[in-house]
Structure 1
């Protein structure tokens, strides 16, 4: 980014995401300063750069959240849209190296580039660069990827670091021997917190919605919407609290029996319940 005048004898610019100053006079002219002089800290140009930095952070977070939503829902994304956003560094950081599938479900690869014409370039499991031009692509949820372990191993070999957690996302596959009429999973029930507020705060910090006495996670899966819910205690209770059972409900609020929970909704619900349980108070000592 270009250097901007910030008062007599100084210029400022964004360097690696922070406002940096340099002197324009004397023997130190052109040298970057370790800290901002008072006159520079209070200059309007510095304030504008700080606010621009904050906007960039919000923009990057928004891009990541949108890509995560596409991936969790396995929604088809128009390649024309990817071509339009790809030049944006924040969008590119969120999208690059995600596993993408085109028209052929057997042809998956790590996204490396999208041309202005909508050509998508992938690196497949053979290490080959593949060029496809479908109308839409899918960013599959990892529970739907049949070659997940191979993709993880190959990503490690390539040194792939994804901006949005996809292939290394914790996944749970639904067991085949679930009781026909069961509606709750108790695996992560009983995680005790000193207060209900602390439990609700952890749910919110992890990105989950808190509604009434529940932490919830809504997933669009296979054309339907399913919401996973974990009981976290009465909203105004000021004593200790603990995680309850995990259940799912459909768009009309009806309980979904466990055998009927879609695979992505199952995995994301279990992921939420496990994350809440992981923050519990763990007692130490021989009587724990």
Structure 2
């Protein structure tokens, strides 16, 4: 984006998300100013740039949220969609270096580029850049990746950082020996907060939904909608409260037996419960 006139003596531009000004006359002509003069701050052009910067921030956040949804639910994404959005810097930032799987479920690579013709360029575990052109790709949830430790080690060697938390996402694998009929996990129950408002605020800040007396997160696991829920106290309760059991419900509201919970829903539910428990009040001298 170029420089825009903001009155007779200044120009403004959006640089690294911030409105910046420079003088157009005098000794300082062409030099960027450290602060915005009052005349520039109040100019309509500066206000338009500020609003545009706010829109860019919202757009970038929405791109990350969408890629996170694809990943958490391991949804197949049309390669054509990735190719079309790739030129957008916000989309590219959200998608770059995410681990993807094409037609071969055993071939995982880190996404580096997408062409207008729908071809993806990924770096595989051999360190080679290969080209893929499947109809769809999957951004697998890390609990579904059998070689996760190898991927993490390889990513560290390449210096890969992901905008969407994927390969370094905290995961919980479901124990195979679930007792029949058990429908709740108590591992993270009893986390005490000064008020329900405190735990609800933490849940919202972490991106979870608060509905009634529960903090919840919805996951599409193997094509089935599942909602994990942690009890956090009655709405409008302004006294001390504690986190309760973790349960899972299907799309009809039926509480699932633990044996019925899929691996992604299990991991994401445990991740939510652990995060809420970690924010609890801790007695002085005790570890959080």
Corresponding residue of 1:89: 89
Structure 1 CA distance for aligned equivalents of residues 285 and 44 of structure 2: 57
Corresponding residue of 1:116: 116
Alpha-carbon offset, residue 237 of structure 1: 1.2
Query: RMSD of the TM alignment (CA)?
Result: 1.1
Structure 1: 5+ residue stretches without partners:
none
Corresponding residue of 1:213: 213
Corresponding residue of 1:146: 146
Corresponding residue of 2:267: 267
Deviations 1:205-243 (A, max 9, x none): 111111110001110010111110000000021101110
Alpha-carbon offset, residue 277 of structure 1: 0.4
Alpha-carbon offset, residue 192 of structure 1: 0.4
* 2:109 counterpart SS class: strand
Corresponding residue of 1:100: 100
1:46 maps onto 2:70 in alignment: no
Deviations 1:170-221 (A, max 9, x none): 0000001111111000111110000011111111111111111000111001
Superposed counterparts of 1:268-283, under 5 Å:
268-283=268-283
Structure 2 CA distance for aligned equivalents of residues 236 and 111 of structure 1: 46
Superposed counterparts of 1:167-182, under 5 Å:
167-182=167-182
Structure 2 CA distance for aligned equivalents of residues 152 and 39 of structure 1: 51
Structure 2 CA distance for aligned equivalents of residues 84 and 238 of structure 1: 49
| Structure 1 stretches of 4+ moved >2 Å | none
Structure 2: 5+ residue stretches without partners:
none
The alignment of Structure 1 onto Structure 2 pairs a total of residues equal to 287
* 2:274 counterpart SS class: helix
* 2:12 counterpart SS class: strand
Structure 2 CA distance for aligned equivalents of residues 285 and 254 of structure 1: 42
* 1:270 counterpart SS class: helix
